Amino acid sequence: MGDKEDYNWHYLTQLKMRIHAHQKVCECLLREGTLSLAQVIRFTQLSKQNVTNALLVLVQHNCVQAFTIQLPGGFEEEPKIMTQYMALHTNIIHHMRFPKFLAIVSKEFGEECKEIFEGLLQHGRLSFNQIMDRHKDKHKADITNGENSTAANVLHENFNKLAQAHYIERCPAHEPFLEPPEQGAKKRTSKSKIADAPPTLEARALAAATPMESLRFLVDVDTLSNGALEDDSKNSPATDIVGEKRKHDCLEPETDIWATNKNKEILWRVNFEEFVRRLRQKFCVSHVTTSLDRGAGIVLNAIYEASRKEETKVKMETTVPLTMDTILEETMKSEEGRSLKLDGVKASLVQLGCEVSAIDFDSDTHSIDLKKIIDQAQSQEVESIVLKKYGREAYRIFRALLKHETLYETDKISIDTFVEKKDVLKILLQLLKDDFVQMERLGNEAQKMDILLWKIHKRSLWAQVLDDMYHAALNLKLRLVHELEQAKDILKGKAVGAEVVQKRKRVGEKWKVLESSLMVLDDAIMLFHDF
């Protein structure tokens, strides 16, 4: 377990160097977990100013979330309000996915939206006015005064498009206040006590910070004018009151650092969640296209399009139920969809696991098992590792075990997989050594020897594979740094000549291979971690 955390952490630390903000503070929060300002100062041994600045940048780039809690007071002592900082692991990893996000926006909405979006990626958080300023700055040369207002309108329109698509969102509250847990626990009914374990402090903080759904993507008309809405941290009654209270009497100096909010403008940022959702959808479509056929991909894509606004979370287990009419209508919107016709759509739905009867009633709805698609893709990734590492027979054995689910006897495996008994045992022991399978012994008096039973612990194996992926990603990254380091002189030097050009070209090629492998590997990491 320790190892697992380690690689994830190493990897994150490497990545965060990309946003080159105060490595030490980020590293410290990733390693130690949620901390107060004083604790960060103690652990990092940096000055208060440095830590405060670093936190500011990390919050600005959505890598850290702050929240306040109330510490119980002692004898004759008032309870104390304290600000805590937590690292947002997933968001930090998302930084390496920016090219993927950018490609989605660019493809869907074109260059102008891409420009707005790029600004948000670069700066983490911006108000609409800041975006406008950036735009003006960039296009100073080609805009005359008369065109200024039209340009602003177009910009607003594009901004709106991004918000409507949920690609950008209002920033979460800077420092939501979390009620002391005891109080919360008391309020619970006896019924809810039996329910799941209470959410962690971090999960509560994230929930409290997120703007209400109705506000989250709302581009107010005020955004256009300079007088923006009020403080965006006022997003729920609870934080509202706390926000006020905080402002008046219990402000610690550290809460003043949020200079970005001094104009009281609503800040916007990229909504990573929506991109994970889109990437998951794209992944599922391309997976069924390769594993089933083109028609299945077209139909699944149409189902996604028709239910885009209705999906509530990223890890949807099934698609939103839709009637045949709706699916058909959406499919027919695209050229290649029209080529399928009604029968083709029906056949694809069947392939995707829906039960389609010959006569379809208006009330019949269909939804597709997405979890199954994801499961299948994950299994395929692991199976391909087994195939390459241990060969075709091991692959067959491994797939048999995955299918079997319960304990499986060596002899039975041999029979079902057409692998000689002694070879089966050899392969299984090898897989056991590398933790791909588990073994149990069953004493057998009659044969005076133990019967060996085998199975796959999917959950722990998948976690191990994901950990290896992080490790591999870290290695790719380190190798990339190493290659650049090696080639420093060649890249920097002014020397020309066929040999140097050739060398530079080779470094470029190596870099390309490493970078693109990292992107492909990241798709797989998302498959195991985010989908």
Partner 1 sequence: MSLLNKRKKPESKTTSGLLDSDKKVLNVIKSKKESAIWLRDLKRDSDLADPIVTKSLKNLITAGLIKEVKHVQFKGRKHYIAAEFEPSQEITGGSWYVDGNLDTAFIEQLKETCLKVIRKLKVATAEGVYDFFKTNRLTNTECTSQQISEILRSMVLDNMIIDVKSTGLAEYHKIPVGQECYRCIAGDKAPITGAMVSIPCGVCPRIRQCTPDGLISPSTCVYFNKWLEF
Residue type, 476: L
DSSP string, 368-407: -BHHHHHHHHHHHHHHHHHHHHH-HHHHHHHHHHHHH-S-
Residue 196 or 355: which CB sits closer to partner 1?
355
Find, among 422, 421, 438, 424, the residue nearest to 393 by Cα.
424
Task: By CB under 8 A, name the one of 250, 332, 453, 472 that touches partner 1.
Answer: 472
Cα angle for residues 409, 411, 416 (degrees, 5° grid): 95
- Is residue 412 at the binding interface for partner 1, with CB under 8 A as the rule? no
By CB under 8 A, residue 364 contacts partner 1: no
By C-beta, is 157 or 435 nearer to partner 1? Answer: 435
Minimum Å gap between C-beta 484 and partner 1 is 11
**Quick one: tokens of 220?**
């107010």
Dihedral over alpha carbons 272, 275, 280, 286 (to 10 degrees):
-150
Residues numbered 420 to 459 that lie near partner 1 (CB under 8 A) are: 420-422
Binding of residue 280 to partner 1 (CB under 8 A) = no
Instruction: Report, in Å, the least distance between residue 62 CB and partner 1.
Output: 26
Q: What is the 3-state secondary structure (H, E, C) of 293-321?
A: CHHHHHHHHHHHHHCHHHCCCCCCCECCC
Q: Encode 49-91 in three state secondary structure.
A: HHHHHHHHHHHHCCCEEEEEEEECCCCCCCCEEEEEEEECHHH
* CB of 517 vs partner 1, minimal distance in Å: 5
- Of 17, 465, 484, 500, the residue at the interface with partner 1 (CB under 8 A) is 465
Is residue 415 near partner 1 by the rule CB under 8 A? yes
Which residue in 89, 479, 503, 529 binds partner 1 (CB under 8 A)? 479
Among 311, 364, 369, 416, indicate the residue that binds partner 1 (CB under 8 A): 416
Three-class secondary structure of residue 349 per DSSP: helix
Least distance (Å) from partner 1 to the CB of residue 384?
4
What is the total count of residues that contact partner 1 (CB under 8 A)? 57
204/183 Cα distance (integer angstroms): 14
When the beta carbons of 105 and 288 are compared against partner 1, the nearer one is 288
With binding defined as CB under 8 A, does residue 495 bind partner 1? no
Dihedral of alpha carbons 218, 224, 225, 226, sign: positive
Residue 523 belongs to what H/E stretch? helix 498-529
The only residue of 417, 428, 530, 531 in contact with partner 1, by rule CB under 8 A: 417
Classify residue 359 by its DSSP letter.
S
d(CA 67, CA 203): 11
- Percent of residues in the chain assigned helix, strand, coil, to nearest 5: 65, 10, 25
Task: Give the shortest CB-47-to-partner 1 separation in angstroms.
Answer: 29
Binding partner 1 (rule: CB under 8 A), the pick from 22, 396, 530, 531 is: 396
Q: Determine which residue in the list 10, 16, 166, 246 makes contact with partner 1, applying CB under 8 A.
A: 10
Residue 496, classified by CB atoms within 10 Å of its CB into exposed (0-12), middle (13-18) or buried (19+), is: exposed
Q: Please identify which residue in 400, 407, 432, 500 interacts with partner 1, judged by CB under 8 A.
A: 400
Secondary structure of 493-514 in HEC code, one letter for each residue: CCCCCHHHHHHHHHHHHHHHHH
Strands of the sheet containing 267-270, edge to edge, are 126-127, 267-270, 168-170
Q: Could you tell me the smallest distance in angstroms from the CB atom of residue 376 to partner 1? A: 11
Residue 243 CA to residue 233 CA, distance in Å, equals: 7
Among 24, 123, 234, 399, which residue interacts with partner 1 (rule: CB under 8 A)? Answer: 399
**Among 90, 148, 164, 380, interactor with partner 1 by CB under 8 A:** 380
In whole angstroms, what is the distance from residue 145 CA to residue 152 CA? 11
Q: Which stretch binds partner 1 (CB under 8 A): 141-149, 237-245, 363-371, 470-478?
A: 470-478
Cβ-based nearer residue to partner 1, 321 or 344:
344
- Tokens found for residue 243: 């926000």
Q: Is residue 510 at the binding interface for partner 1, with CB under 8 A as the rule? A: yes
Q: Which residues pair with 86 in a beta bridge?
A: 65
Nearer Cβ to partner 1 (10/170): 10
Q: Taking contact as CB under 8 A, which single stretch among the options 38-46, 184-192, 334-342, 471-479 is the one that binds partner 1?
A: 471-479
Per CB under 8 A, 31 contacts partner 1? no
Alpha helices in 17-166 (DSSP H): 23-32, 37-44, 48-60, 89-94, 98-109, 111-123, 128-138, 148-164
Measured between alpha carbons, how far is 409 from 421 in angstroms, rounded to an integer? 11
Q: Does 53 participate in binding partner 1 (rule CB under 8 A)?
A: no
**H or E segment to which residue 354 belongs:** none
Chain centroid to Cα 424, Å, comes to 39
Q: Rule CB under 8 A: say whether 475 interacts with partner 1.
A: yes
Residue among 98 and 390 whose Cβ is closer to partner 1: 390
Q: Does 384 bind partner 1 (CB under 8 A)?
A: yes
251 vs 513 by CB, closer to partner 1: 513
392-404 vs 370-390: helix crossing angle, rounded to 10:
150
Please state the closest distance from residue 329 (CB atom) to partner 1, in A.
Answer: 22
Does 488 help bind partner 1 (rule: CB under 8 A)?
Answer: no
Residue 468 binding partner 1, by CB under 8 A: yes
* Among 350, 429, 491, 501, interactor with partner 1 by CB under 8 A: 350
Helix (H, G, I), strand (E, B) or coil at 189: coil
Shorter beta-carbon distance to partner 1: residue 310 or 499 = 499
> Cβ of residue 448: shortest distance to partner 1, in angstroms?
12
Residue number, 317 or 434, with CB nearest to partner 1: 434
Burial of 344 from C-beta contacts in 10 A (0-12 / 13-18 / 19+): middle
The contact set with partner 1 (CB under 8 A) reads 10, 290-293, 343, 346-347, 350, 355-356, 358, 380-385, 387-389, 392, 395-396, 399-400, 403, 415-422, 465, 468-469, 471-472, 474-476, 478-479, 482-483, 506, 509-510, 513-514, 517, 520-521, 523-524
